Amino acid sequence: MLVSCRLSSEIVSKCSRWGVPILASRAAATDLAVEIAETTGITLIGFLRGDCMNVYTNPQRLLL
């Protein structure tokens, strides 16, 4: 799922309940969002712009 807002713990929790495996945004992620993504197995990506990105959790899911 791609969003344009900050990656908050609420968004990551909802994506976990919905079964979303990868969540990406042009904005940053909060510390709590990163913790939740790590424990729930979500690949969390922030600052996604062109070919550049910060992969916060579970990078093994991506072909880089």
- Rg of the chain taking only CA atoms, in angstroms: 10
Q: What is the reported pLDDT for 34?
A: 98
Write out the residue range of the structural domain in which residue 11 sits.
Answer: 2-61
pLDDT in tens, the chain (64 residues): 999 999 999 999 999 999 999 999 999 999 999 999 999 999 999 999 998 999 999 999 998 7
- Token pair belonging to 5: 């807002």
Closest CA to 37 of 26, 46, 27: 46
Domain count, the chain: 1
Q: What is the reported pLDDT for 64?
A: 74
Q: Is 23 helix (H, G, I), strand (E, B) or coil?
A: strand
Q: What is the reported pLDDT for 60?
A: 95
Q: Is 59 helix (H, G, I), strand (E, B) or coil?
A: helix
Are 2 and 25 in contact by the 8 Å Cβ rule? The answer is yes
Please report, for the domain that includes residue 48, its CATH number. Answer: 3.40.140.10
pTM greater than 0.75 (yes/no)? yes
Q: Is 1 helix (H, G, I), strand (E, B) or coil?
A: coil
